[in-house]
Amino acid sequence: MLRAAHLNLPLTRTMMLEGGSAELGGLHIGDKRAICNLIVMMDQQYAYVTGAASGCGLAISTFLVEKGIKVFLTDFDEKNLRVAAERLRSPFAVVNVADWESQVKGFTQAVSQFGRIDYVYPIAGIGENSWIPPLS
């Protein structure tokens, strides 16, 4: 059964009443458009992306936004993260995935912003900058 997530009420086929008004779980809504907007909001999905300032993380974030998914962007590169967030009109947090507390803080901020997270894209990686000798 579909639910109005922010109201935590079941949606039924009897929501629409005569005269263009509607009732949802005892809440009266005077315009059919309000119900349409509510249904659209229920279908809204939310994603959390690490490494979203550039590369694959930015590409995935851009794709998700184009598909109508609200995306919370994270990266440790604050300058490029701000540029990406402005371009995608998405909320963001500076997060270092090598630091657990930073990860918890960023994810908590995303859940506070959206109310829930439907998808997580852990794109940022932790690697060592080691020199690889040439093969010859």
71-96 b/e (C-beta count within 10 Å ≥ 16 → b): bbbbbbeeeebeebbeebebbbbbbb
Count of C-beta atoms within a 10 Å radius of residue 21: 14
Mean pLDDT within 17-22:
42
Above 60 in pLDDT, residue 13? no
Mean pLDDT within 4-15:
40
Share of the chain above pLDDT 70, in %: 64
Alpha-carbon distance of 43 to 40, in angstroms, equals 5
CATH 3.40.50.720 domain residues, the chain? 46-122
In terms of DSSP bridges, do strands 92-94 and 22-24 run parallel, antiparallel, or are they unpaired?
A: unpaired
**pLDDT 10s digits, 52-81:** 999 999 999 999 999 999 999 999 999 999
**pLDDT 10s digits, 113-127:** 999 999 999 999 876
pLDDT band of residue 2 (cuts 50, 70, 90) is: very low
- Res 129: pLDDT: 64
Alpha-carbon distance of 108 to 116, in angstroms, equals 10
Which stretch of DSSP H or E encloses residue 23?
Answer: strand 22-24
- Res 18: pLDDT: 39
The fold adopted by the segment(s) 46-122 is Rossmann fold (3.40.50)
Task: Give the type of residue at 92.
Answer: F
